[in-house]
Amino acid sequence: MEEARKFFADIAKERRRKKTPKGIRKSREIGGGKTIQYVDRPEYQKWLDDNFPGWSVIVNNIWTDSASFAGKSFPITYNVSIQLMVNDHGIMRQVAGVGTATVSVKEIERDNTALMKMKYSIALTDAIKTGCNWLGAFFDLRVDEEARERESAPTSDAQNKQFEEIIKDIPENHREVTKGIWAKQTLASGDKFLYDLKQKTEALKSTMKTM
């Protein structure tokens, strides 16, 4: 059992470590001067064919989120949840995926079958991509994206709570400066800042005990 577990873990790591070929990478702007890299839908299908021949998709649920404007209800997102079915070296696996397609302001008053079909197709593609990502497809692009998100995201509630606990051990004349530095931290840098701050306060308390 342990050997089998290690076997599958090693295969999964191998898939995640593969770099996405530059020839299929694309990029687009997402606002705020930021860009993201991605690959088109056919590349996901090719990836599934190469890694999990005979794969299939089961659609679990389809739903629409709506909002009311001027007394009327309009769709704002179309959503699909799926189970991606794959044969992983003789083991049948079901991987969940959820996809969403948003409705733009220009489209919001269009209420027709063509719009619905297009949006559900986009949502289904997004759901398949999500399932593939969980299996390790183009994992390096996702890791890069998450790193950028953490670099731009504010510190979390848990990080802020930890900071408030640590700062109690800092001499009062240094607290305001420390708070100012903390205010500039992000979700990505916050953990390292807290670790270093904790180490310094522990060293300070140790020094105070020996005086």
What is the arithmetic mean of pLDDT over 54-67? 92
Model pLDDT, residue 52:
94
pLDDT given for residue 6 in this prediction: 79
Q: What is the pLDDT of residue 79?
A: 95
| Residues 6 or more apart in contact with residue 49 via CB below 8 angstroms | 55
Region 12-23: mean pLDDT is 85
What per-residue confidence (pLDDT) applies to 87? 93
> Could you give the 3-state DSSP secondary structure of residue 180?
helix
Highest-scoring range by mean pLDDT, 5-9, 31-35, 107-111 = 5-9
pLDDT tens figures, 178-203: 888 888 877 667 788 888 888 888 87
Q: Are 53 and 99 in contact (CB under 8 A)?
A: no
Average pLDDT on 113-132 reads 90
Model-wide pTM > 0.75: no
User: Closest Cα partner for 158 from 123, 131, 187, 124?
Assistant: 187
Of 145, 131, 38, nearest to 81 by C-alpha is 131
- Domain spanning 2-152 has what CATH number? 3.30.390.80
Whether the pLDDT of residue 144 is over 60: the answer is no
Q: Is 140 left (phi over 0), alpha (psi -120 to 50) or beta?
A: alpha
b/e burial code for range 149-168 (CB count within 10 A of at least 16 → b) = eeeeeebeeebeebbeebbe
What is the Cα–Cα distance from 144 to 48, expressed in whole angstroms? 22
pLDDT of 128 higher than 80? yes
Residues with Cβ within 8 Å of residue 68, at least 6 apart in sequence: 74
pLDDT on residue 20: 86
- The string of DSSP codes covering 55-103 is -EEEEEEEEEEEEEETTEEEEEEEEEEEEEEEEETTEEEEEEEEEEEE-
**pLDDT for res 188:** 66
The per-residue pLDDT of the chain, averaged, comes to: 82
Report the distance separating Cα 200 and Cα 194, nearest Å: 10
pLDDT of residue 60: 96
And the tokens for 28? 């687009």
Sequence-ordered list of residues with C-beta below 8 angstroms from that of 156, at least 6 positions apart, any chain: 187, 190
Give the residue extent of every domain in the chain.
2-152, 157-210
DSSP designation for 36: E
Report the range of poorest mean pLDDT among 45-49, 108-112, 117-121, 148-152: 148-152
Cβ atoms within 10 Å, residue 81: 18
